[in-house]
């Protein structure tokens, strides 16, 4: 798009900020068409209830179906908005000019801007939610494959950035899988609270919707494949706040995974790395570099969505029955957050399906610890004879001494009389084996995968 201002609309960089599918849902022609679809269904529902002439509803649909939402049409709406400063009047006027006289008079009868825009937004978010669930299923397939393949691939488990105890990479991938699975459950649970229309009138009382407003509202909702709310929600923006916070959590998990890959790709760790595509350039000054670009960008996208989730929390506070400061901000942050989340999920799938796992380096990094990763196992064995606190004190003393003397953990154990009196050489050898230190990592992988009912990809 020439002369685009927003980065997601950039002809050059736009692909880094969203996917074509999501852009098509949120671009301006799609938004205007969505509003007109809602207005058309409203007119048809009102005609069924005798609120407006049936011919008017027929003519409104005919006009909307033949309407070309082109640059000329959009420009006319924009010019009207610049004068009236009203969000919907320009569109109503532009459509009226292209309708039969009768139809134009009954367009958007008894409805407010929020009735049209909130209902349209809920329809779009329903589609977006299903798209995200499909993307998550693809990602979960990638993680299940990684978890199974590396169920017994031993690597360092780290706390506070330092090597602690051995785990398996399959276990790590399964933890990611479990977290994303919970986010999918949250998206599914949102349907009950989100898939509702907004048809409330000026202050939420439905006073402008005839003699049977609740029945009309229910019929309107059914025609749009949504549900009627139990009460008007013009001043209650918690549905959108919940949606955005779920997206923020979803993107934060993607960021967490990306951050793990980003750090693990550092040459001094070198346990994981992004798949390499020929032609990818890491630096224009350092030709040798292979940067974790995808993992890094996951963090950028997640920051944007977290910021918008915080913005949305501000919108929960509004004045009285309606407050433009709240819902107008949503026009910016809801689309941007959905666009960024779609791209984050796409990138996450890409990085996981092409992920390079360097098993030998994982083992090498464990060996570099000089056996200190076995300290817990030895301590727990000693605890059976000394008690836990005394065993901890003894192992701590020996571990610190070994590091000062530049000895391995096994060397210090083999030369300490107290250890020799408590554990045989064979027992020590068994305690210092990787197979005895990974706990239930492999079993938990099986347990998690068995608990997830995943459709075929």
Q: Which residues contact 118 (CB under 8 A, 6 or more apart)?
A: 197, 198, 233, 234, 327
The neighbour count for residue 308, using CB atoms within 10 Å, is 23
Q: Which residues contact 328 (CB under 8 A, 6 or more apart)?
A: 87
CA dist list (Å): 185 to 136, 305, 334, 338, 359: 11, 19, 21, 18, 33
CA 8/CA 23 separation, integer angstroms: 9
CA 348/CA 362 separation, integer angstroms: 22
Q: Kindly state the helix (H) or strand (E) to which residue 155 belongs, with its residue range.
A: strand 154-159
Q: Judge contact between 163 and 156, C-beta under 8 A.
A: yes
CA 327/CA 330 separation, integer angstroms: 5
Largest interatomic CA distance in the chain: 102
Give the torsion through C-alpha atoms of 75, 104, 234, 121, to 10 deg: -50
Helix (H, G, I), strand (E, B) or coil at 249: helix
Q: Which residues pair with 168 in a beta bridge?
A: 154
Residues recognised as catalytic = 160, 283
CA dist list (Å): 308 to 73, 128, 302, 340, 402: 31, 17, 10, 11, 51
The values of phi and psi at residue 278, to 5°, are -55, 130
Query: In this structure, what token pair is assigned to residue 337?
Result: 């957050």
Q: Judge contact between 111 and 9, C-beta under 8 A.
A: no
Q: Judge contact between 432 and 375, C-beta under 8 A.
A: no
CA 165/CA 365 separation, integer angstroms: 12
Q: Judge contact between 254 and 302, C-beta under 8 A.
A: yes
């Amino acid at each position: 798009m020439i002369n685009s201002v927003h980065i997601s609309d950039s002809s050059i960089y736009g692909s880094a900020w969203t996917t074509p599918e999501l852009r098509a849902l949120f671009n301006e022609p799609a938004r205007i068409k969505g509003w007109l679809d809602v207005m058309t269904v409203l007119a048809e529902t009102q005609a069924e209830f005798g609120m407006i002439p049936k011919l008017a509803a027929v003519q409104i649909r005919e006009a909307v179906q033949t309407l070309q939402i082109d640059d000329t049409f959009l420009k006319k709406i924009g010019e009207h908005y610049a004068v009236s400063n009203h969000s919907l009047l320009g569109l109503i006027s532009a459509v009226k000019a292209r309708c039969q006289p009768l139809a134009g008079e009954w367009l958007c009868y008894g409805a407010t801007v929020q009735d049209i825009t909130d209902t349209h937004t809920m329809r779009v978010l329903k589609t977006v939610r299903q798209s995200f669930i499909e993307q998550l299923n693809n990602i979960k397939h990638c993680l299940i494959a990684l978890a199974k393949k590396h169920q017994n691939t031993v690597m360092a488990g780290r706390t506070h950035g330092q090597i602690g105890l051995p785990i398996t990479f399959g276990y790590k991938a399964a933890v990611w899988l479990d977290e994303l699975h919970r986010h999918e459950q949250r998206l599914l649970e949102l349907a009950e609270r989100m898939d509702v229309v907004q048809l409330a009138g000026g202050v939420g009382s439905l006073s402008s919707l005839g003699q049977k407003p609740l029945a009309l509202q229910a019929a309107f909702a059914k025609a749009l494949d949504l549900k009627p709310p139990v009460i008007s929600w013009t001043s209650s923006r918690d549905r959108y706040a919940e949606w955005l916070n779920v997206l923020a959590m979803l993107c934060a998990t993607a960021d967490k995974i990306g951050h793990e890959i980003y750090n693990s790709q550092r040459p001094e760790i070198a346990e994981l790395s992004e798949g390499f595509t020929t032609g990818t350039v890491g630096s224009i000054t350092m030709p040798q570099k292979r940067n974790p670009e995808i993992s890094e960008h996951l963090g950028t996208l997640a920051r944007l969505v977290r910021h918008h989730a915080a913005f949305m929390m501000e919108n929960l506070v509004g004045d009285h029955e309606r407050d433009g400061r709240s819902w107008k901000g949503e026009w910016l942050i809801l689309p941007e957050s959905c666009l960024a989340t779609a791209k984050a999920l796409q990138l996450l799938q890409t990085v996981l399906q092409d992920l390079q796992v360097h098993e030998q380096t994982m083992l090498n990094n464990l060996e570099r610890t000089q056996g200190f990763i076995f300290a817990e196992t030895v301590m727990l064995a000693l605890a059976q004879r000394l008690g836990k606190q005394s065993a901890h004190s003894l192992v701590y003393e020996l571990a610190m001494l070994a590091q000062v003397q530049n000895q391995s953990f096994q060397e210090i154990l083999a030369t300490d009389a107290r250890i020799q009196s408590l554990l045989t050489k064979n027992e020590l050898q068994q305690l210092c084996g990787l197979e005895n230190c990974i706990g239930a990592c492999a079993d938990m992988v099986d347990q998690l995968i068995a608990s997830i009912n995943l459709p075929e990809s």
